[in-house]
Amino acid sequence: MKYIIFILCLIAIFLLAYLVSFDRKMVKYKLVTILKILGIQLLLSFIFLHTSLGIMIIGGVSKVFEKLLGYANVGTEFVFGGMIEEGLATFVLTALLPIVFICALLGILQYLKVLPWFIKIMGFLLNKISRLGRVESYSAISAVVIGMTAVFVSIKDMLPKLGRKQMYSIAACSISTVDLSIVGAYMNIIDPKFVILAIILNLFSVFVILSIINPYNPNEEYDVLAAVNSSAEQDNRGFFEMISDYMMDGFNIIIAIVAMLLGFIALIALLNGVFDGIFGVDFQTILGYIFAPLAFLLGVQWNEAVQFGGSIATKLLSNEFVAMTSFIEMKGLTDRSIGIISVFLVSFANFGSVGMIIGALKGLSPEQSKVVAGFSMRLLYGATLVSFLSAAVVGVIL
């Protein structure tokens, strides 16, 4: 039965993407690439979830992050007086403060020129698979390594020369996954193996969706490798200056997340209260029923689909952290549903992320900011389909 549901889900995702395609005639030329990427996703999911080698790799990566989070907690305990050991730690202390330490490590890797080389190599390999273009493939890897808005800073010199379709692809890559600086925070909330698997699958899913919504023959005129080298060489900061800046960047991320959590959770509570008082059912439950059919197509059991539907809506309207806090309060979910929901939640596909991209581009290239603003709803729509596709792949493998 799950295989039939998976096929129906793929058809639904394809049709939903096809409805908003920039060039429907071009889609047929991308079918081979789409099938190839889907095959790779299914194979990788099977390896990581059902083979001893894959489980060992996922477990190894998870342990590395577990160790890093442990080191991060040493700093947290020193500053906050051992609150973690005494069981007084809050969500901010355990899940968010390690972001500062992870950002510091990224700063060290950037200073040692490890990150630029990693981005170039992985971008090259991804381009060979996706065939969507060097700039686009670089942007997908760069979004994971250096962050959603930092992608545009790294290619700021070539931004004015990029076309509308290229801008859509780059923006879609930047919000369809998550960056390494906050991966540890996710792992404190949901199973680390699903966080890792979601990041990998989203890198491929975004190119499937782009091949349908935004199909085109890539322009290889721009030398991405030169842009990466130039960006790295132009940074003349000393070691301690760079690492301090990265730490402050991490702290600013925490402040932004805390502000959004405070505001959105309070607003959702308000809406729940208003709807419950007027209609006798809260706001999230209503949204849950609206999105329940989509949740069911992903492989979630129908009696759990309404809860998952509420998480889908919460993520879109607020962000993934708010949705995750709602998710961990859900009771009675099967292991398969937990895996599907976990993978779906790991991405930046929400209204706030689109606003952040437009805001970042205003300071780098005002004209391109207007271009992205023009297809902002289609951008969020496509990024959400990326999450659906990754979750569907995991659903059929679990």
Separation CA 70–CA 104 (nearest Å): 15
- Per the model's pLDDT, the better-predicted residue between 9 and 83 turns out to be 9
State the burial class of residue 173 (Cβ atoms within 10 Å of its Cβ: 0-12, 13-18, 19+): buried
Residue 2 has pLDDT above 90, yes or no: no
Q: What pLDDT, on a 0 to 100 scale, did the predictor assign at position 370? A: 92
CA–CA distances in Å: residue 292 to residues 113, 282, 350: 46, 15, 19
User: Could you tell me which of 17, 314, 274 has the C-alpha nearest to residue 168?
Assistant: 17
Token output for 9: 């889900």
State the burial class of residue 246 (Cβ atoms within 10 Å of its Cβ: 0-12, 13-18, 19+): buried
Q: What pLDDT, on a 0 to 100 scale, did the predictor assign at position 220? A: 54
Find out whether 133 and 218 touch, Cβ atoms under 8 Å. yes
Residues whose CB is less than 8 angstroms from the CB of residue 178 and which lie 6 or more positions away in sequence, other chains included: 144, 186, 199, 320, 346, 347, 348
Q: What pLDDT, on a 0 to 100 scale, did the predictor assign at position 87? A: 56
User: 188 pLDDT band (50/70/90 cuts)?
Assistant: confident
Residue 294 has pLDDT above 50, yes or no: yes
Residue 255 has pLDDT above 60, yes or no: yes
Q: What pLDDT, on a 0 to 100 scale, did the predictor assign at position 131? A: 75
Residue 211 has pLDDT above 50, yes or no: yes
Other CB atoms within 10 Å distance of the CB of residue 15: 10
User: 223 pLDDT band (50/70/90 cuts)?
Assistant: very low
Residue 318 has pLDDT above 50, yes or no: yes
Separation CA 55–CA 53 (nearest Å): 6
State the burial class of residue 350 (Cβ atoms within 10 Å of its Cβ: 0-12, 13-18, 19+): buried
- What does the pLDDT average to over 16-24? 94
Token output for 239: 């070691």
Q: What is the mean pLDDT of the chain?
A: 85
- What does the pLDDT average to over 82-106? 72
DSSP state of 346: S
Residue 196 has pLDDT above 80, yes or no: yes
Question: What SS3 class is residue 238?
Answer: coil
- Per the model's pLDDT, the better-predicted residue between 118 and 168 turns out to be 168
Residue 264 has pLDDT above 70, yes or no: yes
Separation CA 281–CA 272 (nearest Å): 8
Q: What pLDDT, on a 0 to 100 scale, did the predictor assign at position 233? A: 52
Find out whether 274 and 283 touch, Cβ atoms under 8 Å. yes
Residue 88 has pLDDT above 70, yes or no: no
- What does the pLDDT average to over 372-376? 92
Nearest-5° Cα angle at 18, 12 to 21: 150
Q: How far apart are the first and last CA of the chain?
A: 13
Please write the tens of the pLDDT for every residue from 47-84.
999 999 999 999 998 898 888 888 887 887 787 776 65
Token output for 95: 């899940």
- What does the pLDDT average to over 16-31? 92
Separation CA 312–CA 106 (nearest Å): 31
Share of the chain above pLDDT 70, in %: 92
Token output for 198: 């979601």
Residues whose CB is less than 8 angstroms from the CB of residue 148 and which lie 6 or more positions away in sequence, other chains included: 174, 175, 179, 348, 353, 356, 357
Tell me the domain boundaries of the chain: 2-397
